[in-house]
Amino acid sequence: MWQSLLEHNVISHITNEAQFKDKFVFYKWTIEDPFDHYYQYRSEHPNMQQVQTPGGHIVLPMDSEDIPPRGGEPPTHTDLQNAIFFLGTIGPDSLFRMILAKPSYERSQEELELVYEELLHVKALSHLSTMVKRELASVIRFEQHQYAGTVLFHQGEEGKSWYIILKGSVDVNIIGKGVVCTLHEGDDFGKLALVNDAPRAATIALREDNSQFLRVDKLDFNSYSVMAGLPEKMIEYVLETRIDAQTDDIALDTFLEDFILTHIIYMPSNILCNYLKNYYSRRGNIMPYSSNGSMPSSVETDFDVEQQFIAKRRVVAFLAVWESIFGIHFFLDTVANSFVEEMYCCVLEDSKRIPNMLPILDQITGLRQLRENAMRVLSRHPTTILDCGVYSAQAPAPDPILSMDTCNQCIYLSDTTFITMSIRLDKNASEIADLARCKLKCASTHEECFLIEVKSSGERVVFAPTEVSVPTMLSLNGRLYVVFKDEIDSLTPLPDQQGPIDGMYHSILDLMGSSEIAQQLGIFHTHLFDATDEIELIFQVIGRDQFSGRMPSNLDILLRRFNEVQYWTTTEILLASPSKRVVYLKKLIKIASITKENKDLMTFFAITLGLSNLAVSRLTSLWDKLPTKLKRQYGEFEALLDPSRNHRAYRMLIAKITPPVIPFVPLLLKDLTFMHEGNKTYFAGLVNFEKMHMIANILRSFRNCKTKYSTSHQSKKSADGQNLIRNFRVIDNQRRLNDLSYQIEPPQRSSARR
């Protein structure tokens, strides 16, 4: 309300500031009250009496000059209510304008929410999604012009802003045609010049005084304007508008990065590379001959060559950005890998006939050298990743797992006989089942058979025939079966799936100190995290069988390790002797604290979740023995797992940590799944790029957690420590964990029965 009074010049700040601030600041009334002298006189003479004349007028017997004119009576209670109601009505608009006058970085979260609520009612923005409106709330501005006839921009000028009319109207004037139309409140104009990067098509002039506008400037508009489009139009937009502005000394363009991170969802690499090749080879819109059949002029020829040069430069620059985003994982894409060599040959040939191609040749040569360096790493011999469920010492981390790598896997029949097979990770479930049946020399091989995992809990998982990298998907104590359909229901867990047993379990906590365990866990998990590419998150969420030749095997191993540390924590407590149980609990809390300090949040949350397991958290006699300081510390750890307000506690924590950091990967997957399942990929055949932007933000957060890790030489003691922590023997059957917990502390039964 006070801002409304300030805007209407009823009050003013002593230094003429435009925004009202509710603090110790002086303001003054700008209007003159004709009754000031009268009321001041009355206050100075409280005993003065008013008398009513026969005509009904109020007079003061002492001095008639001080009598106020007709209508000078004090405002009634109704008058005050009406005035306050009016101010309350116009107040939100004044507050809205005040916020929009602030720079983006000064707008508080509460103010952004208020702007967003106002944008919901703007007709020109009604087609935009919730997310885009929230983004616009931080960048949209307010503009006001006092006099009719004011020109906002002239025809032919460069487009710098998009306008939406809040109040008033404007005339649209085109040279040679005059005023072609009038735009009113809620209409928008100026967008076309920004979309097409073209000059203004008309002159816009105010039709009314005191017209008000919302304004989105060009840079902000480009960030949020591409919401949906055909894939080929999107790559054309990237090449035409984004690549030329990209240099090594500026931050990577967000739209360009979004496209590269997510294109595989809607535009496979083979289609993208075909488009890039066609774009590279195009000659522009200039015909080789003029309309009368004569040879083109030298100007036309020069322009044609320049267009070719620009197209080739853009394609090579795009490839360089593509590689810089994914690094060695770029060359795991066989299509992109071979396309680099193809482009090198094209550029080498073109450099012989097109001038000024040397910088482009240098760039593609550097890219080709990166390819050769990567191929020396990727062309290694196949290695074993899991040896019958045990993480192999031969595993390549921090280098990525390749599709040709193998797992030694025990495969069972329904009668529990088994064979051990070496399975390539790119083999699908159907191929594994057929190969196993053949090796087991089973009859009825023409009958369809299924690949089944039986977990230690008894749960049975049927793998789809197209599922790839099956061995890395198995649970910690899971077993793999190949059976016919009618045998599935008869499958039950084997005794050795129940994990270690009491009295025969040797704890690693007795062999290493807390700091050393935390350090060794951090080293190992850093290697696993570094081997995992953000694109594997897409493979996992959208469909493991949707991307030929690509699979999330590294992500599988990372998540498997998270579960392993979590169940190891619970197992350590429940299998400990009574005399050591409290000691182990203290030590695990200390390990969690150190891993948090070391920015290994994956281990930190795995241990915290392991101690939060019901089988451990219910042991009141155990927790009562814990010192108050450690109880409080563990309570703080649990608070970081609080899911309220979209895991706000965790998100605030990781926002304060500088890379390198190993994040809470399961939460990233949860976010990505929510984004994918809650938003359509296509609208009427157009790619929903807003969804791609949200997905890219998650992939970016995953990648930004990494830096160049130290590869310092490990001592023999460190190598021995790695051997101890690489594989834990765990109990992952919650029922058995609960049974062990009840043996330690039987459930309390209520004495009162009804």
**Mean confidence (pLDDT) of the chain:** 85
Same domain for 388 and 371: no
Task: Indicate whether 81 belongs to any domain.
Answer: no
Local structure of 715: helix, strand or coil: coil
Is 747 within 8 Å of 580 (Cβ atoms)?
no
**Strand ranges across the sheet with 682-683:** 228-229, 686-688, 682-683
State residue 11's pLDDT score: 72
pLDDT at 684 over 80: no
Tens digit of each residue's pLDDT (9 = 90 or more) over 213-240: 999 998 887 666 555 678 888 898 889 8
Asked if 517 and 553 sit in the same domain, the reply is yes
Domain presence at residue 241: no
Is pLDDT of 299 > 80? no
In a domain, 693, yes or no: no
**431, 464, 498 — which closes off a domain?**
498
Same domain, 311 and 430: no
Give the Cα separation of 433 and 427 in Å (integer): 10
Pair (620, 524) in one structural domain: yes
Q: Which range, of 29-33, 609-613, 680-684, 709-713, averages the lowest pLDDT?
A: 709-713
For 229, counting Cβ atoms within 10 Å of its Cβ (0-12 exposed, 13-18 middle, 19+ buried), the class is middle
Tell me: do 472 and 569 sit in the same domain.
no
Q: Is the pLDDT of residue 192 over 80?
A: no
Q: What is the CA radius of gyration of the chain?
A: 36
**Is the pLDDT assigned to residue 291 strictly greater than 60?**
no
Average pLDDT over residues 730-734: 97
DSSP 116: H
Residues 366 and 405 in one domain: no
pLDDT of residue 283: 47
What pLDDT does 740 receive?
A: 96
pLDDT at 41: 64
In a domain, 119, yes or no: yes
pLDDT above 60 (res 691)? yes
Residues 423 and 532 in one domain: no
Q: What per-residue confidence (pLDDT) applies to 598?
A: 96
Task: Count Cβ atoms below 10 Å from residue 560 Cβ, excluding itself.
Answer: 18
The larger pLDDT score, comparing residue 733 to residue 652, is at 733
Specify if 470 maps to a domain.
yes
Helix (H) or strand (E) run with residue 523 in it: helix 514-531
Total count of domains within the chain: 5
Q: Are 738 and 616 in the same domain?
A: yes
* Token pair listed for 744: 């330690």
Q: Are residues 614 and 537 in the same domain?
A: yes
**CATH number of the CATH domain containing 213:** 2.60.120.10
Name which of 236, 151, 243, 164 is nearest 196 in CA terms: 236
Between CA 44 and CA 48, with CA 47 as vertex, the angle to 5 degrees is 80
Note whether 287 and 296 are within 8 A (CB).
yes
pLDDT-derived band at 131, boundaries 50, 70, 90: low
Q: In which band, very low, low, confident or very high, does the pLDDT at 289 lie, cut at 50, 70 and 90?
A: very low
Domain that holds residue 339: 268-378
Q: Which of 498, 524, 554 is the last residue of a domain?
A: 498
pLDDT in tens, 25-43: 677 777 766 666 666 666 6
pLDDT band at 294 (very low <50, low <70, confident <90, very high): very low
- According to the model, what pLDDT value does residue 226 have? 54
* Structural domain contains residue 80: no
- Same domain, yes or no: 365 and 393: no
Q: Does residue 487 share a domain with residue 542?
A: no
* Together in a domain, 192 and 319: no
Say which range, 8-12, 45-49, 627-631, has the weakest mean pLDDT: 45-49
CATH number assigned to the domain comprising residue 576: 1.10.840.10
Residue 129 lies in a domain: yes
Round to whole Å and give the CA distance between 279 and 544.
31
Residue ending a domain, choose from 378, 395, 422: 378
